[in-house]
Amino acid sequence: MSVEPNRGAAGGAGAAGTAASQGADVATGGLVQRLGGRLAFGGDYNPEQWDEAVWREDDALMARAGVNLVTVGVFSWALLEPEEGRYDFGRLDAHLDRLHAAGVAVDLATPTASPPPWFTLAHPDAMPVTADGVRLVHGSRDTYCLAAPAYREAAVRIATALAERYGDHPAVAMWHVHNEYATVCYCDHAAAAFRTWLRRRHGTLDKLNDAWGTAFWSQRYASWDEILPPRATQWHRNPALTLDYRRFWSDQALAGYREQREAIRAHSPGRPVVTNLMVPEYQVLDLWAFGREVDFVGIDHYPCGPGIEAAADIAFGGDRARSFGGGRPWLLIEQGTNTLYSGDRVLPKEPGDVLRHSVAHIAHGSEGALFFQWRQSKAGAEMWHSAMVPHAGPDSRIFREVTGTGAAVSRLAEVAGSRVRARAAVLHDSDAWWALDVQGTPSAELDYHGALRRAHRALWDAGVTADFAHPAAPGLDRYPLLVAPALHLLSETAAAAAREYVRGGGTLLVQHFSGVVDEHHQAWLGGYPAPALREALGIRVEEYRPLAQGEVLRLSDGSTGTAWSESVEPAGATPVTTYTHGMLAGRPALTRHSYGRGTAWYLSTRLDDTAYGDLMVRLTVEAGVPPELTPPLPGVEAVRRWSPDGTRAWLFLLNHTDGPLPVPQAPGGHELLTGRQVAPGELRLPARGAAVLRQEP
Q: Active-site residue numbers?
A: 180, 334
Q: Which residue number places its CB atom closest to ligand GAL?
A: 372
H/E/C letters for each residue in 30-67? HHHHHCCCCCEEEEEECHHHCCHHHHHHHHHHHHHHCC
β-sheet bridge partners, residue 602: 510, 591
The C-alpha angle 46, 113, 432, rounded to 5 degrees, equals 125
Residue (136 or 228) nearer to ligand GAL, CB? 136
Shortest Cβ distance from residue 402 to ligand GAL (Å)? 16
Q: Is the peptide bond before 170 cis (omega within 30 degrees of 0)?
A: no
> 317-346 mask for ligand GAL (x: CB under 6 A)?
-----------------x------------
Rounded Cα–Cα distance for residues 588 and 66 (Å): 58
Residue (324 or 372) nearer to ligand GAL, CB? 372
Residue (385 or 648) nearer to ligand GAL, CB? 385
Residue (176 or 592) nearer to ligand GAL, CB? 176
What is the DSSP secondary-structure string of 327-352? Answer: T--EEEEE--SS-EEETTEEEPPPTT
Residue (114 or 604) nearer to ligand GAL, CB? 114
Rounded Cα–Cα distance for residues 424 and 476 (Å): 10
CB atoms within 10 A of CB 467: 24
The burial of 132, by beta-carbon neighbours within 10 Å (0-12 exposed, 13-18 middle, 19 or more buried), is given as exposed
Rounded Cα–Cα distance for residues 94 and 170 (Å): 13
Residue (28 or 276) nearer to ligand GAL, CB? 276
In this structure, the chain runs to a length of: 697
Task: Restricting to residues 381-440, name those near ligand GAL by CB under 6 A.
Answer: 382, 385
Helix, strand, or coil (residue 579): strand
The burial of 471, by beta-carbon neighbours within 10 Å (0-12 exposed, 13-18 middle, 19 or more buried), is given as buried
**Residue at 220: amino acid letter:** R
Shortest Cβ distance from residue 325 to ligand GAL (Å)? 19
Residue (313 or 334) nearer to ligand GAL, CB? 334
Task: Restricting to residues 248-307, name those near ligand GAL by CB under 6 A.
Answer: 300, 302
Output the CA–CA distances (angstroms, integers) from residue 567 to 273, 490, 537, in the order listed. Answer: 50, 20, 15
Binding residue count for ligand GAL, defined by CB under 6 A: 8
Instruction: Tell me: does residue 180 bind ligand GAL (CB under 6 A).
Output: yes
Q: In the chain, what are the helix, strand and coil shares in percent, each to the nearest 5?
A: 35, 20, 45
Helix, strand, or coil (residue 491): coil
Rounded Cα–Cα distance for residues 216 and 233 (Å): 16
Shortest Cβ distance from residue 644 to ligand GAL (Å)? 31
Shortest Cβ distance from residue 343 to ligand GAL (Å)? 15
Instruction: Tell me: does residue 244 bind ligand GAL (CB under 6 A).
Output: no
The C-alpha angle 30, 654, 357, rounded to 5 degrees, equals 55
Rounded Cα–Cα distance for residues 87 and 107 (Å): 20
The residue within the footprint of ligand GAL, chosen from 22, 28, 76, 179 (CB under 6 A), is 179
65-70-74-77 Cα dihedral, nearest 10 degrees:
110
Strand order in the sheet with 552-554: 552-554, 560-562, 606-607
Instruction: Tell me: does residue 372 bind ligand GAL (CB under 6 A).
Output: yes
Shortest Cβ distance from residue 269 to ligand GAL (Å)? 27
Shortest Cβ distance from residue 209 to ligand GAL (Å)? 40
Rounded Cα–Cα distance for residues 483 and 476 (Å): 11
Residue (108 or 517) nearer to ligand GAL, CB? 108
Rounded Cα–Cα distance for residues 117 and 139 (Å): 8
Shortest Cβ distance from residue 334 to ligand GAL (Å)? 5
Residue (334 or 401) nearer to ligand GAL, CB? 334
Query: Applying CB under 6 A, which residues contact ligand GAL?
Result: 179-180, 300, 302, 334, 372, 382, 385
